[in-house]
Amino acid sequence: AIRMTQSPSSLSASTGDRVTITCRASQGISSYLAWYQQKPGKAPKLLIYAASTLQSGVPSRFSGSGSGTDFTLTISCLQSEDFATYYCQQYYSYPVTFGQGTRLEIK
């Protein structure tokens, strides 16, 4: 199985900050990479697919980049509703696998 490793595991930031989360795949996955946001007690929400394509309805302050093995999720100008846990996921092959998550907390 392809292993997905996110960094950092947790992150403290303030409203208005710009933050970047990194995801590394154990082998090349082209651009078959998605990012999700999950809030406590809720289902994950798709933010970005194909590494850099914004899902419909997702604010433009979210952006993704990368291909092959290294990917990033950037949130420019953090809003209060952005404090949550973020997961990357590869869908290059089954079993699809997720990163361990990055918890974004209010500083």
Contact residues for other proteins (CB under 8 A)? Answer: 32, 34, 36, 42-46, 49-50, 55, 87, 89, 91-101
Closer CB to other proteins, 19 or 102, in the complex: 102
Q: Which is nearer to other proteins, 66 or 99 (CB)?
A: 99
Q: How far is the CB of 76 from other proteins (least distance, A)?
A: 22
Measured between alpha carbons, how far is residue 50 from residues 4, 14, 20, 57, 83 in Å? 15, 28, 18, 16, 23
